[in-house]
Amino acid sequence: MIITRSPLRITLGGGGTDLPSYYRQHGGFLIAAAIDKHVYVTVTRPFSPGIYLKYSQLEHVDSIDDVRHPIIREAIKLVGVKAQVEITTLADIPAGTGLGSSGSFTTALLRALCAFERRHIGTRELAELASDIEIQRLGEPTGKQDPYAAAFGGLTAFTFHQNDEVEARPLKMPAGTLFDLEDDLLLFFTGYSRRAGSILADQKTRTEQSDDGMLAQLHLVKELGMRSLAALEAGRTVELGSLMHEHWEHKRRRSAGMTNPQIDEWYDLGRRNGAVGGKLVGAGGGGFLMFYAENHRRLREAMARAGLDEVRFRFSFEGTKVLFD
Q: Is the pLDDT score of 282 beyond 80?
A: no
pLDDT of residue 195 exceeding 70, the answer is: no
What is the pLDDT at residue 208? 80
In this predicted structure, the answer to whether residue 304 has a pLDDT above a threshold of 90 is yes
* Percentage, residues of the chain above pLDDT 90: 81
User: 5 falls in which pLDDT band (50, 70, 90)?
Assistant: very high
Instruction: Give the model's pLDDT for residue 252.
Output: 81
CATH hierarchy code of domain 175-311: 3.30.70.890
* Portions of the chain given CATH number 3.30.70.890: 175-311
Q: Model confidence at 100, in pLDDT bands (50, 70, 90)?
A: very high
Residue 219 has pLDDT above 90, yes or no: yes
CATH 3.30.230.10 in the chain, residue ranges: 2-172
Pair 286, 195: CB distance under 8 Å: no
- CATH class, range 2-172: alpha beta
Mean pLDDT of 42-64: 96
Task: Identify whether the C-beta of residue 41 lies closer than 8 Å to the C-beta of residue 74.
Answer: no
The confidence band for 201, taking pLDDT boundaries of 50, 70 and 90, is confident
pLDDT value, residue 259: 84
> Residue 193 burial (CB < 10 Å; 0-12/13-18/19+)?
middle
Give residue 68's pLDDT: 98
- What is the pLDDT averaged over residues 57-83? 96
DSSP one-letter code for 308: P
pLDDT at 198 exceeding the cut of 70: no
Within 123-236, residue ranges assigned H as helices are 123-131, 145-152, 175-184, 197-208, 212-233
- E-strand ranges in 45-123 read 50-54, 58-61, 84-91
244-276 burial, b for 16+ CB within 10 Å, e for fewer? bbbbbeebbebbeebbeeebeebbebbbebbbb
Percent of the chain's residues with pLDDT above 70:
97
Model confidence at 196: pLDDT above 70 = no
Tell me what pLDDT residue 200 has.
Answer: 74
Res 202: pLDDT: 73
Q: What pLDDT is recorded for position 194?
A: 64
pLDDT of residue 77: 97
- What value does the mean pLDDT take over residues 92-111? 94
Over residues 108-137, the mean pLDDT reads 97
Q: Is the pLDDT of residue 284 over 70?
A: no
Mean pLDDT of the chain: 93
